Amino acid sequence: MTKKEFSRILQNKLTSEYGVDLAVASNQQIYRSLALICRQMMSEQHKRFQSRAVGTGCKQVYYLCMEFLMGRSLKTTLFNLDLNDAAEAALADAGIKLEGVYEEEPDAGLGNGGLGRLAACYLDGMATTGICGTGYSILYEYGIFKQKIVDGWQQERADNWLPGGQVWLKSHPDQAVEVRFDGEVRETWDGSFHTVRHVGYNSVLAVPSDMYVQGYHGQGVSKLRLWQAKAPDFDMNSFNAGEYGSAMSKNASAELISKILYPNDNHVEGKILRLRQQYFLSAASVGDIVQNHLSTYGTLENLPDKVAIQLNDTHPTLAIPEMMRILLDDCGYDWDKSFDICRRVFSYTNHTVMAEALEKWNVDIFKMTLPRIYQIVYEMDHRARAALEEAFPGDEGKINYMAMIGDNQVRMANICAYVASSINGVSKLHSQIIKDSVFHDYYLFKPQAFKNVTNGIAYRRWLVASNPGLCGLLDDVIGPDYRADAALLKKLEAHRDDPQVLEQLARVKLQNKIAFADYLKKATGQVIDPHSVFDCQVKRMHEYKRQHLNALNIAAQYLYLKNNPGADFVPKTYIFGAKAAPGYYMAKQMIRMICKLGQLIDNDPVVRDKLRIVYLEEYCVSLSERLMPASEVSEQISLAGTEASGTGNMKFMLSGAVTLGTLDGANVEIADAAGMENEIIFGMRTPEVNQMKAMGYHPNAFIMGDDVAAAVLNFLEHGWNGEDFREVTDNLRSNDPYMVMADFKDYRRAQADVQRLYRDRAGWSRMSLENIANSGIFSADRAVSEYARDIWHAPFVK
């Protein structure tokens, strides 16, 4: 599209929506008009794409996830529609910068971390590769939360993203799905015919809104269908009787379901709300899938041939018994036929081996909230136990461990493992761990179901749309074809010893660091040295991710510089970005410790020119797009065997950052791809961790023999300015569940290696180049193609 054509379309939209001329339009009006133009184009392309898919009989892929961390949409949509240059030129003629318009868009508050960002990347990948994919989630009114750091403490504030984000959504109230909670089930038998009636239930309407994701350079478009909870009607009788509170509370209770992502669940009410959210998502999505299929084919007999449903972690597990309910109660299939359909339709991705993520629900709460679903799960458990008895005769311990109901709990992960035709991990190491440990018995029961698909990222968002300096270099050196095929980044490796290319790469990185430092100063007032090493750890705040290990080393470096002010020390800027779950007290203490340590360093003239801490408040996708191009060290320091994969590590690698990490999750594959010599690896390997756990881990054994560790813990324990961090240090001394102290000494060695390697600027640039050149395998295009081939058996739409 030419600049002239785009100018005409934009002006027409501004006139029809706001009655203004481009010359006087506000950035907000321009943003909304551009979004509406993009949405209209994607909607039309999606109809054509869907028509081709149905016409050729292609399988529909449905991706269920409690969160989709979409970030901003305008920039990447313009790039993928090939409209960016035309839009930029049209606005420039009116004296308007497109970058300023981008800032009008809020980050879509639909996700928390890696799980939701992966889901968003896969929508992009499916659209680009031509897989007919639809995502399902909840239209959270307030998303996760806005993070505010006050005196070192995280405070949570409502993230009111919808007013600015609504423009991307098209509501379809005529396609609402009724979801039923509570009540009781009445069963009757007429000979062999079984009838089930759910009575006394409370209804909630799931009203869908659609958002589109445009594939790169193609006709493919993915759809994200988001469900909003609404009361089915208004209680006029109560209202007319003057019982206004009662009338309003019924609406409020229904609409609470889609109010906020991951409500705090350290109380019964929070647990019930989370369960209601999960069933709401599952029931609405399965109802929609079945209705769409019936409207196309008129039968559910061919459902497994035309539909693949991917459960992204355990949150949407209830889609399985809900599908059984529809097949049994609404369609009249018998149990065996219904179960066979479910088995062939559903696949399950496990994203963690952390205990809190393998969800279990109290039987009493489950039965009260979802009475019919409980009956189905109970019958499934009964039949599963019989099948498991055949496979493992007499092994009651194994059967009880694998059962769907046990210890007065309903086990989501076991439902998935028993029913799903495919169970995959998200890195080679993680997929092996789930076979060896948490799902070992299910691996023995159905080994053919276990697969691996290593995670991938929508690399164009972090490279083409966010790192123009690096793209310019790549275009000059290897040509632009890598924009369509990430595997072609490998061509850069031929230039690993070209001093001119290495010098240009270092120059691009410095320019990106200067740009980030300028942004940080404008946004927060913080001043950082762009010539220092940018050492970054940005991810959810959690003990297993071990941000406190990073903090211990910073404290050790602080004490060293205080005692050796003239030491030859390469200046470091440590950049953190992380939110803690509202009810996770220790994670909040870790944030406080990092922030207070940063303040101490900032106020110390002896140290602050060599050491800095930046804590990025309200870290989000759009902030990530600014940080990644400037990053130099990627901190991936979880205890080996605890991180499933990670995706931030892949974005850092793509941006040329060197991984400082353990051999955990996808770090293993990153080191394999780029070469171990181009990463900085430390710490115990997974077998060593398991051996130490089996023998009994005692952190004091590592503290007593390490003077630096003892000094750092004493320093943090006693604190400064009337504040101490005893709760963190006591935990590390006595419990240390993620073996921080066992890895601390080797981590300090690895940080010393950063100092040594960074001094050789050409050598560091060579390591950076090797990471960029070998990052192509971590593309979401590759990942979804593997899902399509090995799990969904879904051909690409031609």
CB contact set of 578 (below 8 Å; sequence gap of 6+): 537, 538, 539, 540, 541, 545, 547, 591, 619
> What would the pLDDT profile of 553-612 be if each residue is shown by its tens digit?
999 999 999 999 999 999 999 999 999 999 899 999 999 999 999 999 999 999 999 999
Phi, psi of 362 (to 5 degrees): -55, 130
198 touches 185 (CB < 8 A): yes
Q: What is the DSSP string of 190-203?
A: ETTEEEEEEES-EE
Q: 132, 38, 331, 57: which is closest to 784 by C-alpha?
A: 132
The beta strands (E) that lie in 557-705 are given as 572-577, 611-615, 633-636, 658-661, 680-681
Return the pLDDT at 248.
64
Mean pLDDT of 371-397: 97
Catalytic residue among 128, 129, 317, 647: 647
For residue 250, pLDDT over 90 is answered with no
C-alpha span between 759 and 54 (Å, rounded): 58
For residue 355, pLDDT over 80 is answered with no
pTM across the whole model: 0.95
> What would the pLDDT profile of 169-219 be if each residue is shown by its tens digit?
999 999 999 999 999 999 888 777 778 899 999 999 999 999 999 999 877
CB contact set of 297 (below 8 Å; sequence gap of 6+): 306
- Band of pLDDT at residue 336, cut at 50, 70 and 90: very high
- Band of pLDDT at residue 246, cut at 50, 70 and 90: low
Q: What is the DSSP string of 11-66?
A: HHHHHHHH---GGG--HHHHHHHHHHHHHHHHHHHHHHHHHHHHHTTPPEEEEE-S
Task: Please indicate whether residue 194 is annotated as part of the active site.
Answer: no
For residue 339, pLDDT over 70 is answered with yes
Return the pLDDT at 354.
74
For residue 236, pLDDT over 70 is answered with no
Q: At what angle do helices 740-759 and 761-773 cross, to 10 degrees?
A: 110
Task: Please indicate whether residue 230 is annotated as part of the active site.
Answer: no
612 touches 558 (CB < 8 A): no
For residue 245, pLDDT over 90 is answered with no
Cα-Cα end-to-end distance for the chain: 24
Task: Please indicate whether residue 351 is annotated as part of the active site.
Answer: yes
In whole numbers, what is the pLDDT of the chain averaged over residues?
Answer: 95
Task: Please indicate whether residue 4 is annotated as part of the active site.
Answer: no
C-alpha span between 579 and 602 (Å, rounded): 22
Mean pLDDT of 319-344: 96
For residue 318, pLDDT over 80 is answered with yes
Catalytic residue among 117, 372, 509, 540: 540
For residue 238, pLDDT over 90 is answered with no
Catalytic residue among 315, 461, 483, 539: 539
Structure tokens at 32: 């909304």
Catalytic residue among 146, 225, 545, 596: 545
Catalytic residue among 495, 651, 766, 782: 651
For residue 111, pLDDT over 70 is answered with yes
Phi, psi of 60 (to 5 degrees): -95, 130
**Tokens 């060579």, residue located:** 766
Structure tokens at 469: 């300096």
Catalytic residue among 39, 223, 351, 513: 351
Task: Please indicate whether residue 540 is annotated as part of the active site.
Answer: yes
- Band of pLDDT at residue 162, cut at 50, 70 and 90: confident
C-alpha span between 27 and 33 (Å, rounded): 10
Task: Please indicate whether residue 188 is annotated as part of the active site.
Answer: no
Mean pLDDT of 105-113: 85
- Band of pLDDT at residue 239, cut at 50, 70 and 90: low
Number of neighbouring beta carbons within 10 Å of residue 91: 23
Return the pLDDT at 294.
96
For residue 644, pLDDT over 70 is answered with yes
Helices of type H across 355-426: 363-369, 371-391, 396-402, 412-419
Mean pLDDT of 246-257: 77
**Percent of the chain scoring above 90 in pLDDT:** 89
